[in-house]
Amino acid sequence: MRLNRLKRLLVGKPLPTAQARHERLGKASGLAIFASDPLSSNAYATEEILHVLILAGAAAMVYSLPIAAAIAALILIVISSYRQTIRAYPRGGGAYIVSKDNLGVFPSLVAGAALLTDYVLTVAVSVAAGIAALTSAAPALAPYRVVLCLAAVIGITVANLRGVRESGRVFATPTYLFVLSILGMVGYGLLGLALGWWPEAAPESPPPVLEGVGLFLILRAFAAGCTALTGIEAVSDGVPAFRPPEAHNARVVMGWLGAMTVSMFLGITYLAADLGVAPTAGETVVSQIARRVFGGGFFYYEIQVVTMLILLLAANTAFADFPRLSFFMARDRFMPRQFRSEGDRLVFSNGILILTGLAIVLLVAFHGDTHALLPLYAVGVFISFTLSQSGMVRRWLRLREEGWWWRVAFSAVGAAATALVMVTLAVTKFADGAWIVVTLIPTLVGMFLAIRRHYDRVALQLSLEDFEPPPAITHTVLVLVGDLHRGVVWALQYARSLSPAARAVYVDTERERTRRLEDRWRKWGVDVPLVVLDSPYRSLLGPLLGYIDHLQRQGGPDHFITIVLPEFIPARWWQHVLHNQTALLIKGALLFRRNIVVADVPYHLKH
């Protein structure tokens, strides 16, 4: 009861199924929930570009703007392509569904594995980056980074367990405040540069980076900055969560997302280049820009706070889409059926809890370090991008709907560009940790196929197709007793209601105790015969299982044995540890034996 009250306090009262339609999202709340991840990636995407370019010296930083422009063009291509996907799949068109519909089962499982992996990394990276923003403004908190990360994940989990609409309310204010704050910082910074309020960085002659290893460095910086694209698919995957007309609202949100992401990303990169900001170990690039633009006053700290909040809440995109994708895959029998179940608040609670556990493991294993986690990041999402765009190319070529030729061209360009980025990411980040994702995805695909084979075999064996009714069964009822008390008497009465020929079974491990039981049995045994099994080595299970095997051999293949277990239930939960758990041991030993039925007869003790 106490656990139930705690659950109600944290999660809220259960919602009826009929309330599901009222829990849908409008455009404003939908943007807050599904777009917080790609919007928040602006807080570290530019920094990742600069981290790579600085390896060639400060002069190489001038290439950050052309790289950012190329990434912005890629963002617009992917956004436009996913707007088409939403139109084609108004009930949800993530990479898994699009790939399954157009490319086949195996590509869809690769997409599903890639996205599930990326959603877990999204939570870990976003939370770690959010705490990094906090420790940039308050370095004294740096030693508590991991603890702060775990507290943030748990807080987001509770918000999501409360339901879609309530989480939308929680996340809307920080999301829009972040957008306004960053755009305000960019606008004020550009105005200050135009009016000469602060000096620009001294221009340097660019190095010959387009030769030899320099070209590889450019590609590596481009791939690193492509973290700005993570989370874009979330809107497409979450179309069913929007209010009607779902597809229209999702397309509008996707358009808003593209405009905001490109504006913020290009603005931050331009300011970093003009102000000569370089990545440092103790402070983020956004923090350095805000410090140069606003000084150390209120607006600087406001930028840091809202950046921290949006990065923490960006994990919500994964909390919205990981459970939904798990539902789709469980519906197709590639994941355990538990992922299909909605919780009390009309959310997929099992998916949320599994995502929480996996993200916590990553944060602890990588000590909440953003730069340690980022090499694992984005490989999975670009695999899913490539498969989704390729699937849409196949769809337009197959259906040849109106305007199919330019739609094919758009999707083909998107597929080629994202495939190039995917390969570049895998190659440049392989030794830094991307190998984990590259090897994990095939492992997950194998697991999905094994789960599907299991469910197919279960369905085949349970099918009534060509099924002949079984012959009549024979039945023996045994009551396992270790003593004689009120709970056992109730169990004996229950056993006699099942079969007048029920018998009790006792394993003799101590002769004197057995004699006392036999004396009491004659008085209280309710006319149920007592069978005493000898146990010279004081084993309980050995003689019992041997007796059951003997009865089954006598009865034949159609003979069932019902084992009745008397159990007394203490009034307090902690009192269970004061009693042995013999019944659990017996049930575990009998669980996988054929033609055995185990029935518990509880006797509840008073306070």
Of all residues in the chain, what percent carry a pLDDT higher than 70? 88
Low-confidence winner among 249-253, 360-364, 467-471, 595-599 (lowest mean pLDDT): 467-471
Low-confidence winner among 53-57, 213-217, 330-334, 342-346 (lowest mean pLDDT): 342-346
pLDDT tens across 236-284, in order? 877 877 888 888 888 898 899 889 999 999 999 999 888 888 888 778 8
- Closest C-alpha among 529, 594, 532 to residue 559: 594
Q: Does the domain made of 2-451 have the CATH classification 3.30.110.30?
A: no
pTM: 0.75
Q: Cα–Cα distance between 105 and 455 in angstroms, integer?
A: 16
Architecture of domain 474-604: 3-Layer(aba) Sandwich (3.40)
pLDDT at residue 212 in the model:
42
pLDDT at residue 296 in the model:
73
Q: Which residue has better confidence, 494 or 522? A: 494
Assess whether pLDDT exceeds 70 at residue 27. yes
Assess whether pLDDT exceeds 80 at residue 4. no
pLDDT at residue 579 in the model:
65
Residue 211 dihedral angles phi and psi, to the nearest 5°: -115, 140
Assess whether pLDDT exceeds 50 at residue 18. no
Structure-block tokens of residue 573: 């939960």
SS (H, E, C) 202-254: CCCCCCCCCCCHHHHHHHHHHHHHHHHHCCCHHHHHCHHHECCCHHHHHHHHH
Q: Which residue has better confidence, 576 or 400? A: 400
Q: What is the mean pLDDT of residues 46-63?
A: 81
pLDDT at residue 243 in the model:
83
Confidence bin at 170 (pLDDT 50/70/90): low
Name the packing angle between helices 285-294 and 105-137 (round to 10°). Answer: 40
Assess whether pLDDT exceeds 80 at residue 306. yes
Q: Cα–Cα distance between 47 and 283 in angstroms, integer?
A: 11
Q: How many CB atoms lie within 10 A of CB 195?
A: 8
Q: Which residue has better confidence, 209 or 72? A: 72
Cα dihedral 233, 25, 257, 111, rounded to 10, equals: 0
Length of the chain, in residues: 607
- Closest C-alpha among 303, 291, 65, 52 to residue 178: 303
pLDDT tens across 529-547, in order? 999 998 877 788 888 899 9
pLDDT at residue 343 in the model:
57
Q: Which residues have a Cβ under 8 Å from the Cβ of 409 and sit 6 or more positions away?
A: none
Gyration radius from the chain CA atoms = 31
3-state helix, strand, coil in the chain (%, to 5): 70, 5, 20
Q: What is the mean pLDDT of residues 29-56?
A: 80
pLDDT at residue 213 in the model:
43
Confidence bin at 15 (pLDDT 50/70/90): very low
Q: What is the mean pLDDT of residues 175-187?
A: 89
Q: Where are the domains of the chain?
A: 2-451, 474-604
Q: Which residues have a Cβ under 8 Å from the Cβ of 10 and sit 6 or more positions away?
A: 158, 161, 162
Structure-block tokens of residue 496: 């006699």
Q: What is the mean pLDDT of residues 442-469?
A: 89
Confidence bin at 13 (pLDDT 50/70/90): low
pLDDT at residue 207 in the model:
53
pLDDT tens across 476-517, in order? 999 999 888 888 888 999 999 999 889 999 998 888 888 888
- Closest C-alpha among 262, 350, 258, 357 to residue 34: 258
Structure-block tokens of residue 395: 């769809």
Assess whether pLDDT exceeds 60 at residue 166. no
* Helix intervals (H) in 138-163: 145-161
Q: What is the mean pLDDT of residues 136-159?
A: 85
Q: Which residue has better confidence, 214 or 161? A: 161
Q: Which residue has better confidence, 319 or 455? A: 455
Q: Which residue has better confidence, 591 or 573? A: 591
Low-confidence winner among 36-40, 107-111, 354-358, 360-364 (lowest mean pLDDT): 36-40
